[in-house]
Amino acid sequence: MKTPSFLITIITIIFSQSLYSQQIAHRNSVIEKATQEISSANIESYIKDLVAIKTRHNLSSKSNPQYGIGAACKYIQNKLENLTQNGINKPEVILYNYKAGGAGSRLGREVMLTNIVAEFKGNSNDNRVILLLAHYDSRSFDNNDSTIFAPGANDNGSGVSALLEISRVLSRVSTPVNIKVAFLSGEEHGLLGAANLASIAKTQGWNVIAVINNDMIGNSRSSETELASNLKVRVFSENIPSFETETMKRDRVFNSAENDSPSRQLARYIKEIGERYVDNLEVKLIYRNDRFGRGGDHTPFSKEGISAVRICEYFENYDRTHQRVEVVNGKQLGDLPDGVDIEYVRKNCALNMATILNLSLSPDRPLNALMDVGGLSSSTRISWSDPSIGKKPSFYYILIRETDQPLWWKKIAVRGNEVVIPYSKDNYVFGIQSVSEDGCESLPVMIYGKR
């Protein structure tokens, strides 16, 4: 038998301030600096520039330099290609063109659309990829009208501006893993750009560990009920994975893992890391893949079996989303810049920044994490292997929560590859993370029982 692992310390990480009394927030200086570099003024100017293009409808002009989806594509491409000042991590900007539309589709005619991806290469041989998404197309009330003013300041100028600002800051930071920042077309006509990129990721064998879709992250006031707050944001994640083999299904049922999909682990991670670095922002986990009747660009990725979530404002304003720009009974309709809370976009942008940097500085997830469920015991024996790529972890966190709790309650730091902890396998859910020397943790893996 292996020597039991050395239990080095117990850190109580408290997630819910209403239930517990204390919280430890150790901030890594590189991550903290990067989140503080996010500029509200830049975000505001990107949104104004995008709105000035008048429409980014998928069937709008591709040749006019000032108007239409072609101008928007060029604008984003130029911003990314100009990231040269202090450019220690200049991205490679790749345009992925794809054919969309035609008979029987939501797009009235066939058209060539473009996804723009800024690829920030990692400074090591660690091939993991973190993928950020925001769609840059826009629409008005009639989704077939390609010439009407469709400013899309919030949907999705907010997400695009956040990703442009993240790209600017990323160009000054060097990280071990690859970060791809993707600006997608075709969303408003059926997630076409996302489906194309997801299939490229699959066929080219990208080792994508997380997809974070930002779609509408700037409105902080609800229509009708007039509730307002920029203090909380939603992260949507699927419950039961939409991609599941028979073996995965049997494992899920055996382990009662319905609240522990890989996408849910990513959502919890965004909450933990985001709240560690971004002040005055609470991340609300929504136990749904998306809102009723409406989809998002993360979904084609989850369907391919990739962990993928959507970040979205907590309150939505239906007077401003997909509406004609006009004043009706004294009320302004349409997706104009005055409906975007820039400070809210800044915080949501920082939430992305902190998450991807913490993840990129972490070792890869442990492998073969299993617990012994064969015998009758009040303690639980857990074992795992080191990750096979990237830097070796400095230590691991065993994560614990009761079966009826939504968030991890306690983290136990351990060394080695095996531990016995005095918590019953029947009453708790366990997870595990790899941790770097300076405390950056990987995404958690739920620890399954050996069948």
Write the binding mask 153 to 172 for Zn ion: x where contact by CB under 5 A, - elsewhere. Answer: --xx----------------
CB of 223 to Zn ion, least distance (A): 16
Q: Does 185 bind Zn ion (CB under 5 A)?
A: no
DSSP class of 441 = B
User: How many residues comprise the chain?
Assistant: 451
Contact 13, 32 (CB under 8 A): no
> Whose Cβ is closer to Zn ion: residue 114's or residue 156's?
156
> Whose Cβ is closer to Zn ion: residue 205's or residue 293's?
293
DSSP class of 290 = S
> Whose Cβ is closer to Zn ion: residue 301's or residue 409's?
301
CB of 155 to Zn ion, least distance (A): 4
> Whose Cβ is closer to Zn ion: residue 261's or residue 352's?
352
The residue with tokens 């505001």 is 44
Q: Does 316 bind Zn ion (CB under 5 A)?
A: no
CB of 140 to Zn ion, least distance (A): 13
DSSP class of 228 = B
Q: Does 215 bind Zn ion (CB under 5 A)?
A: yes
Stretch that binds Zn ion, among 45-53, 79-87, 166-174, 210-218 (CB under 5 A): 210-218
CB of 30 to Zn ion, least distance (A): 31
CB of 216 to Zn ion, least distance (A): 5
CB of 228 to Zn ion, least distance (A): 21
> Whose Cβ is closer to Zn ion: residue 156's or residue 358's?
156
> Whose Cβ is closer to Zn ion: residue 166's or residue 173's?
166
Long-range Cβ pairs for the range 314-317 (8 Å, 24+): 314/220, 314/229, 314/232, 314/233, 314/234, 314/284, 315/219, 315/220, 315/221, 315/222, 315/227, 315/228, 315/229, 316/216, 316/219, 316/222, 316/223, 317/154, 317/219, 317/221, 317/222, 317/223
Cα 125 from Cα 235, distance rounded (Å): 31
Distance in Å from the first CA to the final CA of the chain: 20
Cα 217 from Cα 163, distance rounded (Å): 11
Q: What three-state secondary structure class fits 312?
A: strand
Cα 186 from Cα 196, distance rounded (Å): 10
CB of 195 to Zn ion, least distance (A): 15
Subset of 69-108 contacting Zn ion (CB under 5 A):
none
Stretch that binds Zn ion, among 22-30, 55-63, 207-215, 378-386 (CB under 5 A): 207-215
> Whose Cβ is closer to Zn ion: residue 128's or residue 310's?
310
CB of 315 to Zn ion, least distance (A): 15
CB of 295 to Zn ion, least distance (A): 9
> Whose Cβ is closer to Zn ion: residue 91's or residue 296's?
296
Task: Report CA 206 to chain centroid distance, whole Å.
Answer: 17
Burial tier of 138 (Cβ tally within 10 Å: 0-12, 13-18, 19+): buried
Q: Does 213 bind Zn ion (CB under 5 A)?
A: no
Stretch that binds Zn ion, among 60-68, 150-158, 238-246, 369-377 (CB under 5 A): 150-158
> Whose Cβ is closer to Zn ion: residue 155's or residue 275's?
155
Stretch that binds Zn ion, among 122-130, 149-157, 199-207, 358-366 (CB under 5 A): 149-157
Q: Does 290 bind Zn ion (CB under 5 A)?
A: no
Q: What's the per-residue H, E or C state across 233-282?
A: EEEECCCCCCCCCHHHHHHHHHHCCCCCCHHHHHHHHHHHHHHHHCCCCE
Binding site for Zn ion (CB under 5 A): 155-156, 215
